[in-house]
Amino acid sequence: MTIRYGQHLGRAPRSGGAMRALALVAILAASGCSSLDIGSSSSPSDSTSSSSFTQRVKNLFSSGSASGQEKVAATAPSGPDPNLDCPGVTVRSGAATLAVNTPGAEPSATNLRFQATVSQTARECAVSAGNMTMKVGIQGRVILGPAGTPGKVEVPMRLALVREGIEPRTIWTKLYRVPVDVPAGQTNVPFVQVEEGMSFPVPSAQDLEAYVVYVGFDPSALAPEKPTRPTKKGK
């Protein structure tokens, strides 16, 4: 799946900041988004299978071998249910990247603190007592811009299960503030966010075909910069 990157980095003098901006463009141009179907099962998941899913997601993402719609068989005791239609996961249009600039400065190549992107997703479904539970894994990457410095950053992401149609209906949604630590000496790092408890009543087979899980960044949820209070002068 092709991601369109909305951040225009423009041109700048060939300084250290400009070179970092060019490197950022090269990394983003080479990145993409793929979806992994971990599998499905007809039995509920316990804490062991939950940790297993998280580990499998991390292993898949770290292996770097995934491409397109690669499928990996589930490890549930009963095996995958061939009649189970697990909703697909897709990156919401316009929410594949998040650009954070220096507070109060005009958006530009040199004022970019960091940019975050979504690179891969994975999913797994299970049905029990009339409810479907989805586990969704998201891998992204934070890339420092010319104005960025190592340290901790917060990336706001939203996950939403939607029944598409003439009148789309949101079934489930959740906002995550994902902490990402960029070590000193590095300019880009991956991060993983896993949701293991997206549960909803199993709809009819026709309705289930219209269910889609959207992932993406939610810039409206960015923590506002705390204003600097002026120092009171003594009388």
Residue 159 has pLDDT above 70, yes or no: yes
pTM above 0.75, yes or no: no
121 exposed, middle or buried (CB, 10 Å; 0-12, 13-18, 19+)? Answer: buried
* pLDDT above 90: percentage of residues in the chain: 48
| d(C-alpha 97, C-alpha 115), whole Å | 7
DSSP assigned state of 63? H
Residue 118 has pLDDT above 80, yes or no: yes
Residue 207 has pLDDT above 50, yes or no: yes
Report the range of poorest mean pLDDT among 15-29, 56-70, 162-176, 179-193. Answer: 15-29
Question: In terms of residues, how long is the chain?
Answer: 235
Close Cβ partners of 124 (under 8 Å, ≥ 6 residues apart): 37, 38, 39, 40, 41, 53, 74, 86, 134, 135
- Parse the chain into domains and list their residue ranges: 16-220
